[in-house]
């Protein structure tokens, strides 16, 4: 098929849960971007192993299997995100100084310091519309969290 | 430490991951996407015959290239790989984690055993992208003309008439033309507006051929320069005969009647006639609908017939025409009152050259580009060489001297 439609709106916008991120990073669908120099290596369980291998070995485009039955979806804890200079109550909307510092804890003893940056060009998150060959823009994201420094060891206080 | 006060947000990784592509949007596209009646965009790749992977719907699977088209703009899509990984996060309740928690504990990996169970506000990574898609529009933009030239049948009148069956009985000719054009444009990797522009520029038209195939290109034609000139000549003569002022509003149907033979026979297909009129009239759109009222745009018409006549009669330097002969012929193809406006400067820039002091000939579209490029590269070579830190370029000029 030579022509593939790309719809500007998602047919079924996802309803986000309460979004714990700072307002600036919140989008209608709740999606946010996090850029990491390097990859996260997961504590692999037996069933996770094949998935893991696939997603690394294959072309990213092949990795677009829609989430299978919801029963099999599970989350692996990685760590935590922290915005040390941001507090939802006191930080005003035009104050951007908090953006300079974001912590990403990996596990308990490693911490990366990053920042929140405005994207030079907004990025559209595109997905397949259901099981069709059509595409849709799920969200347009304007900011990202970027972590480009090495993790530093920290004490879990 | 300020971190004490800040809230920490548990961060998890969801399995299985979802498939997303990230597409950078230039400002004008952001505006379009956020506008109230945002149009559906299209990802177009070259016709399937050229790409082997037509079954793959993912845009970057196509071998050659993919263009993103808005209704009137075309962008080239480029995949940019990054060594950084971009994770797409989404807020989540940690219900899924709790179920899984025992399993992790069994691994003895108590690093991960954090205060997740108490905190309901979590963010989770649902996808990882190693590349983004960037959009790029070359300065000169994209034109549908080269693609149309490849796709459309070449109509050179006369000899082809035998195997082209004009089927005028159908009342839904306009409908048929529109469907055929849309099917054709789906295979042309530029935006619809640019397709229509190219269609008009080429005087392309729909004519059902005897070949009962479903490929739209079998019924779409682009006339040769000679055919276009002949049709136009006939139009001018007809208009004079019937007293139709081409500059003022006229009914296209009246003009059509004026070109018919004495016994009402058509000298050429009506689609071709309308394509030629559309090429030189104001507000030319290629809707496929039959035209109603229109008027000819004088400067556009003068330029077009001059260029087309030259293309028809003197396509190469060897068949160059005498200049005054050309000017007279050009004038003869225009309504009487326009004759005085004909000069060489009315021709499109670069469309002609003077092979010797008395003659003129046509320069093809493709060759014009070359001429232009050569000029600009020569002029800019010096400046780029100065800026460049490449030794070969820096010293190239000195070596010549």
B190-231 confidence digits (pLDDT tens): 999 999 999 999 999 888 766 566 676 778 889 999 999 999
Domain annotation covers residue A135: no
**B178 or B366, higher pLDDT:** B178
pTM of the model: 0.75
Domain annotation covers residue A11: no
Instruction: Report whether B94 contacts B114 (CB < 8 A).
Output: no
Same domain for B99 and B174? no
Same domain for B185 and B219? yes
The DSSP output letter for B354 is: -
Domain annotation covers residue A132: no
Reported as type and span, the H/E element at residue B153 is strand B153-155
The chain B residue lying nearest A3, using CA atoms, is B44
Domain that holds residue B288: 229-362
**B215 or B171, higher pLDDT:** B215
The single residue listed with the structure tokens 């809707």 is B287
What's the total number of domains in chain B? 4
Domain boundary pick from B179, B202, B225: B225
Six-digit token pair at B252?
């296209």
- Average pLDDT value for residue range B378-399: 60
CB of A118 within 8 Å of any CB in chain B?
Answer: no
Enumerate residues 138 to 157 of chain A having a beta carbon within 8 A of any beta carbon in chain B.
Answer: 138, 140, 144, 148
What's the total number of domains in chain A? 1
| Cis status, amide bond into B16, omega within 30 of 0 | yes
In the prediction, which pLDDT does A89 show?
A: 79
Domain annotation covers residue B325: yes
Same domain for B294 and B248? yes
Same domain for B6 and B132? yes
Q: Judging by DSSP bridges, how do beta strands B220-223 and B205-206 pair with one another?
A: antiparallel
In this structure, the number of other CB atoms found within 10 A of the CB of residue B364 comes to 12
Q: Determine whether the interchain pair A17/B91 forms a contact, defined as Cβ–Cβ distance below 8 Å.
A: yes
In the prediction, which pLDDT does B138 show?
A: 86
pLDDT tier at B21, thresholds 50, 70, 90: very high
Q: Determine whether the interchain pair B40/A5 forms a contact, defined as Cβ–Cβ distance below 8 Å.
A: yes
- Average pLDDT value for residue range B28-53: 79
**B217 or B48, higher pLDDT:** B217
Same domain for B247 and B339? yes
Separation between Cα atoms, residue B156 and residue A104, nearest integer Å:
70
Separation between Cα atoms, residue B203 and residue B280, nearest integer Å:
10
**B214 or A35, higher pLDDT:** A35
Q: Name chain A contacts of B93, Cβ cutoff 8 Å.
A: 17
CA distance B41 to chain A (A): 5
In this structure, the number of other CB atoms found within 10 A of the CB of residue A92 comes to 6
CB of A103 within 8 Å of any CB in chain B?
Answer: yes
Domain annotation covers residue A114: yes
CA distance A130 to chain B (A): 12
Same domain for B239 and B218? no
Name the residue among A7, A61, A103 with its Cβ closest to that of B60: A61
Domain that holds residue A106: 21-63+78-119+140-153
Q: Determine whether the interchain pair A31/B60 forms a contact, defined as Cβ–Cβ distance below 8 Å.
A: no
In the prediction, which pLDDT does B139 show?
A: 84
Domain annotation covers residue B367: no
Question: B263-318 pLDDT, tens per residue?
Answer: 778 888 888 998 999 898 876 665 656 677 888 889 999 999 999 999 998 888 88
Res. B118: pLDDT tops 80: no
Of A1, A48, A5, A31, the C-alpha closest to A123 is A31
CA distance A81 to chain B (A): 5
Same domain for B215 and B315? no
In the prediction, which pLDDT does B75 show?
A: 94
**B1 or B32, higher pLDDT:** B32
Res. A58: pLDDT tops 80: no
The residues near B304 (Cβ < 8 Å, ≥ 6 apart) are B279, B280
Q: How far is CA B43 from the centre of its chain?
A: 13
Domain annotation covers residue A126: no
For chain B, give the percent of residues with pLDDT over 70: 71
In the prediction, which pLDDT does B263 show?
A: 79
Backbone angles phi and psi of B50, in degrees to 5: -90, -25
Backbone angles phi and psi of A130, in degrees to 5: 55, -135
pLDDT tier at B135, thresholds 50, 70, 90: very high
Domain annotation covers residue A148: yes
- Average pLDDT value for residue range B61-69: 71
Span of A144-153, B263-272, B280-289, B347-356 with lowest mean pLDDT:
B280-289
Res. B331: pLDDT tops 50: yes
Q: Judging by DSSP bridges, how do beta strands A3-7 and B250-251 pair with one another?
A: unpaired
Domain annotation covers residue A50: yes
Domain annotation covers residue A110: yes
Enumerate residues 156 to 215 of chain B having a beta carbon within 8 A of any beta carbon in chain A.
Answer: 186-187, 189
Same domain for B264 and B329? yes
CB of A116 within 8 Å of any CB in chain B?
Answer: no
Backbone angles phi and psi of B202, in degrees to 5: -85, -5
Span of A27-41, B47-61, B76-90, B307-321 with lowest mean pLDDT:
B47-61
In the prediction, which pLDDT does B61 show?
A: 40
Question: A66-111 pLDDT, tens per residue?
Answer: 444 445 778 888 888 999 988 877 888 788 889 999 999 988 888 9
pLDDT tier at B94, thresholds 50, 70, 90: low
**B182 or B262, higher pLDDT:** B182
CA distance B297 to chain A (A): 35
CB of A20 within 8 Å of any CB in chain B?
Answer: yes
Domain boundary pick from B174, B208, B225: B225
Six-digit token pair at A132?
């069709």
The residues near B200 (Cβ < 8 Å, ≥ 6 apart) are B275, B278, B279, B284, B285, B286
Instruction: Provide the mean pLDDT of chain B.
Output: 78
Separation between Cα atoms, residue A59 and residue B61, nearest integer Å:
10
In the prediction, which pLDDT does B22 show?
A: 95
CA distance A23 to chain B (A): 13
Q: Determine whether the interchain pair A73/B15 forms a contact, defined as Cβ–Cβ distance below 8 Å.
A: yes
Enumerate residues 111 to 150 of chain B having a beta carbon within 8 A of any beta carbon in chain A.
Answer: 111-112, 114, 116, 120-125, 128-133
In the prediction, which pLDDT does A68 show?
A: 44
Six-digit token pair at B395?
């010293």
Q: Determine whether the interchain pair A8/B97 forms a contact, defined as Cβ–Cβ distance below 8 Å.
A: no
In the prediction, which pLDDT does B290 show?
A: 62
Q: Name chain B contacts of A76, Cβ cutoff 8 Å.
A: 12-15, 97, 100, 104, 112
Name the residue among A4, A31, A80 with its Cβ closest to that of B43: A4
In the prediction, which pLDDT does A44 show?
A: 52
The residues near B305 (Cβ < 8 Å, ≥ 6 apart) are B229, B232, B280, B330, B333, B334
Domain boundary pick from B108, B136, B164: B136
CA distance B40 to chain A (A): 5
Q: Which one of B2, B14, B34, B43 would you mutate to disrupt binding with A, by most A Cβ within 10 Å of its Cβ?
A: B43
């Amino acid at each position: 098929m030579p022509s593939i439609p790309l719809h500007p709106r998602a047919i079924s916008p996802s309803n986000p849960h309460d979004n714990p991120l700072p307002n600036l990073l919140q989008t209608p669908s709740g999606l946010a971007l996090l850029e990491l120099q390097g990859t996260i290596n997961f504590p692999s369980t037996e069933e996770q192993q094949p998935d893991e291998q696939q997603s690394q070995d294959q072309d990213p485009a092949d990795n677009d299997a829609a989430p299978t039955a919801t029963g099999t979806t599970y989350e692996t804890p990685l760590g935590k995100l922290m915005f040390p200079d941001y507090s939802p109550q006191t930080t005003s909307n035009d104050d951007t100084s908090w953006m300079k510092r974001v912590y990403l804890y990996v596990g308990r003893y490693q911490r990366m310091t990053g920042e929140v940056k405005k994207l030079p060009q907004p990025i559209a998150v595109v997905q397949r519309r259901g099981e069709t060959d059509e595409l849709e823009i799920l969200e347009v994201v304007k900011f990202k969290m970027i972590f480009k420094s090495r993790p530093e060891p920290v004490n879990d206080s | 430490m300020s971190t004490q006060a800040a809230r920490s947000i548990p961060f998890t990784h969801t399995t299985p991951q979802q498939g997303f592509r990230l597409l950078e949007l230039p400002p004008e596209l952001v505006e379009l996407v956020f506008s109230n009646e945002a149009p559906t965009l299209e990802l177009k790749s070259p016709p399937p015959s050229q790409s082997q992977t037509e079954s793959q719907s993912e845009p970057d699977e196509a071998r050659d290239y993919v263009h993103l088209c808005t209704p009137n703009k075309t962008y080239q899509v480029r995949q940019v790989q990054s060594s950084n990984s971009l994770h797409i996060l989404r807020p989540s309740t940690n219900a899924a984690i709790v179920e899984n928690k025992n399993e992790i504990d069994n691994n003895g990996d108590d690093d991960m055993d954090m205060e997740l169970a108490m905190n309901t506000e979590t963010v989770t990574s649902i996808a990882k992208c190693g590349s983004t898609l960037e959009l790029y529009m070359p300065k000169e933009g994209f034109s549908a003309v080269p693609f149309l030239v490849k796709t459309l049948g070449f109509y050179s009148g006369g000899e082809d008439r035998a195997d082209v069956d004009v089927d005028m009985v159908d009342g839904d000719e306009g409908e048929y033309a529109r469907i055929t054009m849309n099917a054709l444009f789906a295979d042309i990797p530029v935006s619809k507006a640019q397709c229509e522009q190219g269609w008009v520029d080429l005087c392309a038209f729909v004519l059902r051929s005897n070949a009962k195939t479903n490929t739209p290109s079998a019924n779409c034609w682009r006339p040769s320069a000679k055919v276009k000139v002949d049709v136009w000549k006939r139009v001018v003569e007809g208009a004079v005969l019937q007293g139709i002022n081409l500059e003022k509003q006229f009914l296209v149907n009246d003009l059509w009647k004026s070109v018919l033979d004495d016994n009402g026979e058509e000298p050429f297909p009506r689609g071709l006639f309308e394509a030629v009129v559309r090429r030189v009239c104001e507000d030319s759109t290629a809707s496929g609908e039959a035209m109603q009222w229109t008027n000819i745009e004088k400067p556009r018409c003068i330029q077009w017939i001059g260029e087309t006549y030259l293309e028809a009669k003197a396509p190469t330097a060897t068949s160059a025409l005498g200049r005054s002969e050309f000017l007279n012929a050009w004038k003869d193809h225009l309504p009487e009152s326009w004759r005085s406006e004909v000069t060489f400067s009315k021709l499109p820039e670069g469309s002609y050259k003077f092979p010797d002091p008395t003659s003129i000939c046509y320069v093809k579209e493709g060759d014009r580009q070359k001429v232009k490029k050569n000029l600009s590269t020569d002029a800019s070579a010096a400046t780029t060489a100065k800026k460049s830190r490449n030794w070969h370029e820096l010293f190239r000029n000195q070596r010549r001297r």
